[in-house]
């Protein structure tokens, strides 16, 4: 199991500044090394300030492809859409020039949407350069919910699919998510959490032998330490 390389900040503003600087540096390195970079980000209420800060970074955004770690099966017009959040908070200012590859499509059902998203994600290549995860107070990350019927499939390190559908009772609506293998092979993997409650959940999840919560399964599968950015 990989360890957590913890980075603690006095405020969420300080965290956003440093995480944006570090992510931008990684993207620049990837562009210099191979002519392009990929960035996968998470939704929810936590990353908005980080997105806004990153959107101002001076780098060649025309060579960056942005995608999502997971998405709700709702159209971008929905307030619940992660794509909407990314378009409103990240794909603006300097980052307006980045290319976006989303996971949602107007498919007849979430399984078909996941199959379509798999084709879209394939064009990104692998490994992804920067992946920024979030975490819920139930220990879920991406759309790996503890009550997901297919949790073992989603977090199987030998899983060949890079995108799968999820329909967990606690998820609110069906979702589409990157699977564990694609996430953990990222060149730079970050966990961004805020608040004492989430810090305590992470500590407990990593200390608990069984059952392993989803966030702990990520740490189990990653070969090197995960950078954990935390602010109160």
- Where are the chain's structural domains? 4-231
What local confidence, expressed as pLDDT, does residue 3 receive?
A: 84
Which pLDDT belongs to residue 1?
62
Encode pLDDT of 13-42 as tens digits. Answer: 999 999 999 999 999 999 999 999 999 999
pLDDT attached to residue 230? 98
Alpha helices in 35-167 (DSSP H): 48-54, 82-89, 110-122, 151-154
Q: Give me Rg for the CA atoms of the chain.
A: 16
Instruction: For the chain, list residues with pLDDT below 50.
Output: none
By the 8 A CB rule, do 18 and 109 touch?
Answer: no
Token output for 93: 């200012």
Range 4-231 classified under CATH 3.40.228.10: no
Residue 152 burial (C-beta neighbours within 10 Å; 0-12, 13-18, 19+): exposed
**CA 16 to CA 77: how far, in whole Å?**
26
């Amino acid at each position: 199991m990989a360890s957590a390389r913890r980075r603690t900040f006095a405020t969420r503003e300080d965290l956003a500044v440093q995480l944006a600087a570090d992510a931008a540096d990684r993207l620049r390195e990837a562009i210099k090394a191979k002519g392009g970079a990929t960035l996968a980000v998470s939704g929810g209420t936590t990353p908005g300030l980080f997105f806004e800060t990153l959107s101002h970074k001076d780098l060649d955004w025309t060579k960056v492809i942005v995608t999502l770690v997971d998405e709700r099966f709702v159209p971008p017009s929905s307030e619940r859409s992660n794509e909407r959040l990314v378009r409103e908070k990240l794909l603006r200012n300097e980052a307006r020039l980045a290319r976006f590859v989303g996971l949602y499509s107007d498919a007849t059902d979430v399984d078909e949407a996941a199959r379509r998203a798999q084709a879209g994600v394939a064009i990104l290549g692998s490994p992804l350069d920067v992946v920024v995860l979030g975490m819920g107070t139930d220990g879920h990350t991406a759309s790996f919910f503890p009550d997901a019927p297919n949790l073992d499939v989603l977090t199987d390190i030998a899983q060949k699919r890079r995108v799968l559908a999820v329909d967990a009772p606690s998820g609110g609506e069906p979702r589409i998510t990157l699977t564990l293998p694609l996430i953990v092979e990222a060149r730079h993997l970050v966990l961004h959490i805020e608040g004492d409650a989430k810090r305590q959940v992470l500590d407990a999840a990593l200390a608990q032998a069984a059952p392993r919560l989803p966030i702990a399964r990520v740490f189990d599968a990653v070969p090197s330490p995960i950078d954990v950015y935390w602010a109160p």
